[in-house]
Structure formats: structure tokens, C-alpha cells
Amino acid sequence: MPYAFDPYALLFIAPALILSFIAQMWISSAYARGKQLAARMSGFLAARHILDSAGLQNVQIEPIPGSLSDHYDPREKVLRLSDENYHGRSLAAVGIAAHEAGHAIQDAVGYLPLVVRNLAVPAASFGSSAGVLLVMLGLIMNFQLLLLLGIVIFSGVVFFQLVNLPVEFNASRRAKQLLVETGIVGGNEMGPVNSVLNAAALTYVAATLQSVLWLVYYILRYTSRQRNQY
């Protein structure tokens, strides 16, 4: 990020950085506690039970390496769980597995924010690198058109993250409801699950806030340079 050109840029996005730090600390703590609490079944079995109950026997579940690398792939209709959540029989494992199963259900029912998010993935992937690069070059070269182009492209990242928020919140809501309805987790056991999923949601909020603040900063730099030209 080009805050090196303006020492006040880091201060400008400081609220998002602080929130991100809090979210990371919370999810690390909540996940560590949740892993110590036994569940009735493994993350794999929990996800399988939820998917089958929703009529999604066609969705496969695969283990993948990494920590908290869990995700649902809508293109291949595959739910991928990190090894510790795939095999783990803990409240943290079933909570995260249920969250990802929630994404598969969203995909199956055509949940509109998920459809929009999936369409925005290419723009977000391109904008996260190309947009920032163009902004930096525009600032270095004092080239307003390049700076403006970078801002427009980076806006795709912000749009993606704003759309992603309701997708993640809805998946967590579905997960909490499904875990209780299917009897995987008792109502009195939902505290640790709620903590893990709420902490994960806060990380998305922090990432979105950071992107929004960077976009506002870029726009302010652009408009200030425009005024200085007159």
C-alpha cells in the first residue's frame, strides 16, 4: 500500500488495522478454546450430515492442508476442510464445517449475494494487485489519469468485500441454526461455536473496513491533487 508517500495514510487506516488485530486475537483465542471442547462427531461428519439433510449429496468434502484454510468451491461443488477440522471432533471443527456447509446451501438455493460475489471474484482478484499498482504509479509519476484508473479498478475489491459481508453473516446464521436443528450441537454447547463464528465474521468486517478506508484515502489524494492544479 502506498502509505510510504504520505505518513498520514497509516493513521488514516489505523482504525481498520486495530480492528483487524482485535479480530485475529479473538479468533485465535476462540478457536483454541473451541478445539478443546469435544463434539458428538468430526467436522467431516457434521458437514456431511448437514449437506445430506439439505439434499446436497452431490457436494463432496475433501481435506486440505493448512490452518483455517476451510472453504467451499462453488465451481467444483466441493467443500474443503483443513485437516484439523476435517478429522477433529471439537466444537470449533463442527462450527467451521457447518459454516462452509452453509455456503454450499447458499449456492444450491441461488442466494443472490453469493451469486453477485462469485461474479465479482475476477474483478477483485485483478483489482487487488493491478489497482494498487496503478495508484502507486499515479502517485509517484504525478499522473492523475493513472491514479484515477487505479481507483476505479481498486473499487472492484471494495465492492467484492462489501457483497461478501452478507454472504459470510448468512452462512454463519445458517450454521448455527443447522447445528442445533440436526442435533449435532446442543443448545447449551453453542457458546464456543458462536464465539468462533462471530470472531471469524469480525475478520471480514476488518478487511472490508481497511479496503474502504484505502479507497477513501486514494480518492482524497486524487481530489487534493486536482484542486492543486487550479
Q: Which residue has the higher pLDDT, 229 or 25?
A: 25
For residue 9, name the pLDDT band (cuts at 50, 70, 90): confident
Length of the chain: 230
Q: What is the rounded (10 degree) CA torsion for 21, 26, 32, 35?
A: -130
Pick from 174, 224, 197: nearest CA to 23: 197
Pick from 199, 173, 190: nearest CA to 28: 199
Please give the mean pLDDT across all residues of the chain: 92
Segment 66-73 shows an average pLDDT of: 93
Q: Is the pLDDT of residue 114 over 60?
A: yes
Give catalytic residues, as residue numbers. 100
Strand segments, DSSP code E, in the chain are 60-64, 71-73, 78-82
Tens digits of residue pLDDT in 187-199: 888 999 999 999 9
Predicted pLDDT at 109: 96
Q: Is the pLDDT of residue 5 over 70?
A: no
Q: Which residue has the higher pLDDT, 61 or 189?
A: 61
Tens digits of residue pLDDT in 132-179: 999 999 988 888 999 999 999 999 999 999 999 999 999 999 999 999
Predicted pLDDT at 188: 85
Q: What angle do CA 72, 77, 81 make, to 5 degrees?
A: 35
Mean pLDDT check: name the lowest of 52-66, 67-81, 212-226: 212-226
For residue 25, name the pLDDT band (cuts at 50, 70, 90): very high
Predicted pLDDT at 2: 43
Which pTM was predicted? Answer: 0.88
Q: Is the pLDDT of residue 224 over 50?
A: yes
**DSSP 8-class letter at 67:** S
Q: How far apart are CA 220 and CA 228, in angstroms?
A: 12
Segment 19-43 shows an average pLDDT of: 95
Tens digits of residue pLDDT in 87-98: 999 999 999 999
